[in-house]
């Protein structure tokens, strides 16, 4: 448990592609946004490879997916969506990417970062591993005065993220009850039409099913009531 | 289970060194070859560092090991052996290597890829981690129109591998009964004389022993009969 | 001579550090700004290493130098100053940097790019070589539909820079008469107090001297009058 | 169990920062040093980023931390401390780092290497992952005649490390009873004043507590007596 | 002058894109082919970015350009055309590329290599710099027993290229009289329809013009007759 | 001209291979050593690839060449020879190499650095380009407080090299009269028996010839007498 009484009200979600937040943690995001937290999305790529239609150029697809992501974000109550423009499918956890993310952390000063669990066994998508690892390594770097010191300009200082929540994890130890917003979560996901199609009720049901199962897991682990629908995370609380 | 009824009859085995397939999955390969599947071996290196004799230059050793690998392949019924010529001991999962493998997948169109499990905890050989990870990342890339798009020449199109089998895994969830071909598997391994010596009955017994143990595991997990000797894999079935 | 009659009125100056434009090409920039051209500065670093005072942290110095650069830019009539935040002294011409610059070219659509000549023999500053080369390579990339295609979002299209002017060159083939604005050029340079000190009349005289010499060279080569003070460039005109 | 009867009396501890050995494995080191083993420390960085005081430059901090590390080493009975001078916080497992470590292994010929477990799930410190992985990959390389063959000069030959002990692991399978030297271990850690402060009795108690808990685990797993305080390792014994 | 009397009859032309040989050195190639030399083309990319039509995917363009290159090669009398499949526009002179080229040199054993002069001042195309430099560095590597030693398999031995001819150079010191084959050279170039269009008489005239000018230069420097049309090269003769 | 009156008495020669100093600048080194200057050699590699005998392993050759270099150094009066152990033939000007060299400059504080001219047109040896460029870039870095700041430990401070002399240059602007020591220079070169053979009088004459020619050039440019034998350098004097 953190010792601070400061409210942890700024949240940054770092994903590899548009729709990663909606597939991974949108229920929790909606709930937190409703509770007054300020949410920023950072997407490393604009998902420019995610189509089976060769007639759709990467930039055209990226345009569609940025629009879809902005629509989903608005639906959810996200304040800002930042696209870094890296090429989809080719992400690597380089010092360069880490520096970019570190700079964003120092400027936006999120108390909480949500990202993909890069340690998940058989996380087959190379972008998902790279994005999660780079985000966590950037959190580490952001705290130090002399890592990427050229970023500490004016009132920009080292920034200590207080909590990290990893989604798509095999080691959840924190659960959020999203019963209140399961349908809003699904609606947000449905904004990504290029990826999920129109009126994808089958996907909606799959999300409900999975959230129900996670809810069970939460009730069992936490020995609490409620949690009809839940999302699970591996959580880190930093000193 | 895949929904396709198309037979999955082209198989590509991607290993780091000659003898990786024989140490890792040869029983299954023999069985599948006998069943009519067409097998292609891709070896990233020619194993040029695997000798304690300083008088044997890397290229001389590579020549011997390529010969041994071809002999083993012939014994097993492998149709084609491809050596990529990377230097043994120094493999890295670069975008460059991934592009090479992606190109091979698109040209050969294997339904099934067998490779090393890079997530295995304490997989100490850096080449084994790099080879397995590059192979899996290449499978991901091969499906997309705009990753390495310069490869989609003529009738070469994106290619979706249907199944991946990871050997040297700590998380087997698929077992193949190799009782029929345990001795053929050992004979194939024995072709790698530079690595195993002549008439290495002790190694043969070790292989039998391990396969027997895997067989037990298979019988237990699958609640099936047979499987006196087995090989275990982590399997992925892709949509 | 370009065949287009379209006015070349958007100019991007790409330098490695704050003060590079003022040391390299500010007279021309002032003249062009006065003539109605719109000027954008892109500085790859914020010059965070350029101090002999160990008590000044890189970020503190970067803050001062960004302020100085903005002051100089305002004095000159530059519309926009963009800092990319790379670390001073460690620039490399990577594909990553090239992609960043390519993206800026496509968004800002400058007709003219001014940058450092990376081929200058004995250009000893590694950042100067890297910045100039990356800028020129980005110009090349920006023209193509399928280099960094993920950037071609919405109305962003490939962009063909029309002319490039290299400063700090040993092969000038274009001269601009800056007699009109030699003092304004010096005043702009003097904004970089952290680098040149206060009232550095000696430097001012050095600039006048060098510009006079370049003026002579221009008169000789061009067989023209005027050019009391001039700046020289290696110029490229692209189809 | 190794088949050799040669005493394994040379030990190399490879860490990312000064204090890594004292936090990770110092009890065992003290015990082994007392038993006559010769210990060498290799620290990849000098911990130059580990301060929250922006007025302390990286080199100044590095100087302090090297002194602290030497003091701790002397207290413990370490014979030699080698600092490689890589920048803290930015370590990567490159072939270059691996070559450096491989060269040290071949020159010093340690029978035993102790390093950080890079596979530990949620090992959040990027330097810890890189250091442990590079050390293990260097052990692999050091054995071969034609990996980094330029190092095999004069009487330097390939070197086969016999055992590796990984600390900060989640998979301990070897425990050392450090009851004899728990207080010496704490005293050594206390030498790192810049990191732990003066008279940090709370940390001391935390170390005792953790060692006690590891002792319990050891007694349980080994079904042995003793082990009031213990340290746990993942151990590898190489042929 | 080389001391060997061995005929230098195997020639390898290494270019970055299809059409590089035809733009750069085809007259000489035709003449040498007619004289009985055996010519191999190696193209690092298939020129997949060279189109202003966004509807033409990189692979489609690559297919066209490979066909065009093969047609030109046949017209010229080239025996073999090898495409390495690197992505157009993104070439870098990495050790990996150098190893690939070194392997080809050792297998094909060309006496003569023709490639792009990477030192040409203001060679603005990054691929041209990278291709030429990699080719020359590969020539250096190919001679040594222990650079990329894993390639020296079977009867593959180190290979000493005897002569290198750099085209697109600013420092020609060797000229070939191509009066005999100026029209064949133009015809070969015209095979690259996707790049030069149909019946591009203006380009043909430009080639004639330039070759005439080079012819003058040759006559002057060599004080020889003939050379109505010529191509100029920077030539290296290796011991 | 430098404004300091401090004698420039510490000299560091940075070469890629043993014998580079003797081939490149040994006459000057001998003269300076005799005049009381203290000379340090830094060799990035130990020349492990420089043999046509495949039976000589890289490390064996490196051992011989280090011995030869030490013998030559002793003959010349060099105080210290440092071998960095990079692999011959594969040098690249990475930040890592630059950091190593920067650290050496800061520790040894040479007033003068002699190295290879990396800008020489058609410097075909990749190691020679990389070594010279890395050395010059390291000189730049060594002056700054916050480039590689982790090196500024204890009394190690930024170090400003005062003069750089580039050998193997096409732009000599400084000549040293080595008439006094032409034979000593040749004797030193002859220490590199593995490279030049025994009693290589032909090479000796070649050195004399070249030095004579450089002497002529010096007399002409400097309008001075003497300089029967000379060495030429591109010289930089830093503020």
Contact yes or no for D54 and C57 at CB 8 A: yes
Q: What is the predicted pLDDT for the residue at B3?
A: 52
- Which residues in chain F touch residue E236, judged by CB atoms under 8 angstroms apart? 122, 124
The two three-digit tokens of residue B100, written as one number = 């090479």
- Which residues in chain F touch residue C121, judged by CB atoms under 8 angstroms apart? 119, 171
| End-to-end Cα separation, chain B, in angstroms | 9
Q: What's the rounded Cα separation, in Å, for the pair A173 and E170?
A: 67
Q: What's the rounded Cα separation, in Å, for the pair C210 and C189?
A: 14
User: Closest Cα of chain C to E50: distance in Å?
Assistant: 8
User: Closest Cα of chain A to E54: distance in Å?
Assistant: 8
Contact yes or no for B54 and F54 at CB 8 A: no
Q: What's the rounded Cα separation, in Å, for the pair D45 and B85?
A: 35
D239 pLDDT exceeds 90? no
Residues shown for chain C:
239
Q: What is the predicted pLDDT for the residue at D1?
A: 40
The two three-digit tokens of residue D205, written as one number = 């108690």
F236 pLDDT exceeds 90? yes
Please say whether the dihedral angle defined by the alpha carbons of residues A160, A173, A77 and A197, taken in this order, is positive or negative.
positive
The two three-digit tokens of residue E158, written as one number = 């180190």
Q: What is the predicted pLDDT for the residue at C74?
A: 97
CB F110 within 8 A of CB F11: yes
Contact yes or no for B124 and D136 at CB 8 A: yes
- Which residues in chain E touch residue B85, judged by CB atoms under 8 angstroms apart? 99, 103, 150-151
Please say whether the dihedral angle defined by the alpha carbons of residues F168, F173, F176 and F179, taken in this order, is positive or negative.
positive
Q: How confident is the model over F147-204, as pLDDT tens digits?
A: 999 999 989 999 999 999 999 999 999 999 999 999 999 999 999 999 999 989 999 9
Q: Which of the residues in chain C have pLDDT under 50?
A: 1-2
Q: For residues F198 and F119, which has the higher predicted lDDT (pLDDT)? A: F119
**Mean pLDDT value of segment D35-52:** 97
Cα angle: A188, vertex A192, A193; to 5 degrees: 120
CB D64 within 8 A of CB D19: no
Which candidate from A137, A146, A234 shows the least CB-CB separation from D48? A146
Contact yes or no for A136 and D121 at CB 8 A: no
Size of interface A-B (CB pairs under 8 A): 32
Q: What is the predicted pLDDT for the residue at E2?
A: 45
User: Closest Cα of chain B to D18: distance in Å?
Assistant: 25
- Which residues in chain E touch residue C136, judged by CB atoms under 8 angstroms apart? 124
Size of interface B-E (CB pairs under 8 A): 70
Q: What is the predicted pLDDT for the residue at D199?
A: 86
CB D160 within 8 A of CB D113: no
Q: How far is CA A53 from CA A57, A66, B145, B160, F217, in A?
A: 9, 18, 8, 14, 68
**Burial (0-12, 13-18, 19+ Cβ within 10 Å), F180:** middle
ipTM given for this complex: 0.95
Contact yes or no for B125 and D140 at CB 8 A: yes
- Give the Cβ contact number of residue E35 at 10 Å: 9
- Give the Cβ contact number of residue F46 at 10 Å: 27
User: Closest Cα of chain E to A61: distance in Å?
Assistant: 14
Q: Closest-CA residue in chain D for C56? A: D55
Q: What's the rounded Cα separation, in Å, for the pair D129 and D140?
A: 17
Q: What is the predicted pLDDT for the residue at B6?
A: 77
Neighboring chains of B (3 or more beta-carbon pairs < 8 A): A, D, E, F
Please say whether the dihedral angle defined by the alpha carbons of residues C54, C56, C61 and C64, taken in this order, is positive or negative.
negative
- Which residues in chain F touch residue D85, judged by CB atoms under 8 angstroms apart? 99, 103, 150-151
Q: Read off the pLDDT band of D32 (50, 70, 90).
A: very high
Q: Closest-CA residue in chain D for F50? A: D150
Residue E121 DSSP class? T
User: Closest Cα of chain A to B238: distance in Å?
Assistant: 11
Edge to edge, the sheet with strand D230-237 lists: D80-86, D38-45, D10-15, D112-116, D163-167, D230-237, D174-177
Q: How confident is the model over B90-115, as pLDDT tens digits?
A: 999 999 999 999 999 999 999 999 99
- Which residues in chain C touch residue E122, judged by CB atoms under 8 angstroms apart? 119, 171, 234, 236
CB F39 within 8 A of CB F32: yes
Residues belonging to chain D with any Cβ–Cβ distance to chain F shorter than 8 Å:
45-46, 48, 57-60, 62-63, 66, 85-88, 94, 96, 99, 103, 145, 148-154, 156
Q: What's the rounded Cα separation, in Å, for the pair B103 and C224?
A: 59
Q: What is the predicted pLDDT for the residue at D194?
A: 96
F48 pLDDT exceeds 60? yes
Q: How confident is the model over D7-23, as pLDDT tens digits?
A: 999 999 999 999 999 99
Q: What's the rounded Cα separation, in Å, for the pair E132 and E134?
A: 6
Q: Name the phi and psi angles at F155, rounded to 5.
A: -95, 10
Contact yes or no for F59 and D88 at CB 8 A: no
Which candidate from B136, B146, B147 shows the least CB-CB separation from A124? B136
Neighboring chains of A (3 or more beta-carbon pairs < 8 A): B, C, D, E
The two three-digit tokens of residue B6, written as one number = 């198309």
Residue E45 in 3-state DSSP? strand
- Which residues in chain E touch residue B59, judged by CB atoms under 8 angstroms apart? 149-153, 156
F2 pLDDT exceeds 50? no
Q: What's the rounded Cα separation, in Å, for the pair D164 and D111?
A: 9
- Which residues in chain E touch residue B62, judged by CB atoms under 8 angstroms apart? 150, 153
Neighboring chains of C (3 or more beta-carbon pairs < 8 A): A, D, E, F
Neighboring chains of F (3 or more beta-carbon pairs < 8 A): B, C, D, E
Q: How confident is the model over A108-156, as pLDDT tens digits?
A: 999 999 999 999 999 999 999 999 999 999 999 999 999 999 999 989 9
Contact yes or no for D46 and F152 at CB 8 A: no
B229 pLDDT exceeds 80? yes
Mention every residue, 6+ apart, whose C-beta is less than 8 A from residue E68. E18, E19, E191, E192, E193, E194, E195
Q: What's the rounded Cα separation, in Å, for the pair A74 and B42?
A: 48
Angle in degrees, 0-180, between the axes of helices B58-76 and B182-190, rounded to the nearest 10: 160
- Which residues in chain A touch residue C59, judged by CB atoms under 8 angstroms apart? 149-153, 156
Q: What is the predicted pLDDT for the residue at E200?
A: 93
Angle in degrees, 0-180, between the axes of helices F182-190 and F26-34, rounded to the nearest 10: 120
Q: What's the rounded Cα separation, in Å, for the pair D42 and D81?
A: 6
User: Closest Cα of chain F to D99: distance in Å?
Assistant: 9
DSSP string for C94-133: -HHHHHHHHHHHHHH--SEEEEE-TT-TT---HHHHHHHH
User: Closest Cα of chain C to D57: distance in Å?
Assistant: 8
For an interface test with D, the pick among A92, A144, A151 (most D C-beta atoms closer than 10 Å) comes out as A144
Contact yes or no for D150 and F66 at CB 8 A: no
Q: What's the rounded Cα separation, in Å, for the pair C71 and C187?
A: 10
- Which residues in chain C touch residue A154, judged by CB atoms under 8 angstroms apart? 63
Size of interface D-F (CB pairs under 8 A): 69
- Give the Cβ contact number of residue C155 at 10 Å: 6
Q: How far is CA D192 from CA D196, E12, E143, F200, in A?
A: 6, 62, 53, 59
Please say whether the dihedral angle defined by the alpha carbons of residues E144, E150, E151 and E156, taken in this order, is positive or negative.
positive
E3 pLDDT exceeds 80? no
Q: CA nearest A169: which of A41, A28, A37?
A: A28
- Which residues in chain A touch residue D58, judged by CB atoms under 8 angstroms apart? 146
Which candidate from E57, E58, E89 shows the least CB-CB separation from C141? E89
Element (H or E) spanning F167, and its range? Answer: strand F163-167
Q: How far is CA F78 from CA C67, E171, F83, F114, F160, in A?
A: 49, 39, 14, 13, 22
Q: What's the rounded Cα separation, in Å, for the pair C129 and C136?
A: 11
Q: What's the rounded Cα separation, in Å, for the pair F34 and B223?
A: 87
Q: What is the predicted pLDDT for the residue at A5?
A: 65
Q: What is the predicted pLDDT for the residue at C199?
A: 86
Residues shown for chain F:
239
User: Closest Cα of chain B to F130: distance in Å?
Assistant: 22
- Give the Cβ contact number of residue E237 at 10 Å: 12
Q: Closest-CA residue in chain D for B53? A: D145
B2 pLDDT exceeds 50? no
A75 pLDDT exceeds 70? yes
- How would you label D130-164 residue by residue, b for 16+ Cβ within 10 Å and e otherwise? bbbbbbbbbbbbbbbbbbbbbbbbeeeebbebbbb
Size of interface A-D (CB pairs under 8 A): 31
**Could you tell me where the DSSP H helices lie in chain E?**
20-24, 26-34, 58-76, 95-108, 126-142, 182-190, 193-196, 201-222
């Amino acid at each position: 448990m953190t010792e601070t009484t400061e409210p942890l009200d700024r949240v940054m979600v770092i994903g590899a592609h548009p729709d990663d937040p909606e597939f991974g943690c949108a229920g929790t995001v909606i709930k937190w946004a409703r509770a007054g937290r300020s949410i920023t999305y950072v997407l490393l790529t604009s998902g420019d490879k995610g189509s089976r239609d060769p007639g759709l150029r990467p930039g055209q697809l990226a345009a569609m997916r940025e629009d879809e992501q902005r629509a989903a974000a608005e639906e959810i109550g996200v304040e800002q969506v930042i696209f870094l423009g890296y090429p989809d499918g080719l992400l690597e956890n380089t010092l360069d990417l880490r520096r970019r993310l570190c700079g964003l952390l120092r400027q936006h000063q999120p108390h909480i970062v949500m990202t993909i669990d890069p340690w998940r066994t058989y996380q087959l998508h190379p972008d998902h591993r790279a994005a999660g690892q780079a985000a966590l390594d950037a959190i580490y770097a952001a705290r130090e005065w002399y890592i990427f010191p050229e970023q500490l300009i004016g009132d920009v200082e080292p920034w200590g993220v207080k909590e990290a929540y990893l989604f798509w994890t095999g080691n959840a130890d924190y659960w959020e009850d999203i019963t209140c917003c399961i349908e809003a979560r699904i609606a947000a996901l449905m904004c990504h039409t290029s990826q999920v199609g129109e009126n994808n009720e089958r996907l909606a049901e799959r999300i409900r099913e999975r959230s129900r199962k996670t809810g069970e897991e939460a009730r069992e682990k936490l020995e609490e009531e409620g949690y009809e629908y839940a999302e699970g995370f591996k959580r880190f609380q930093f000193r």
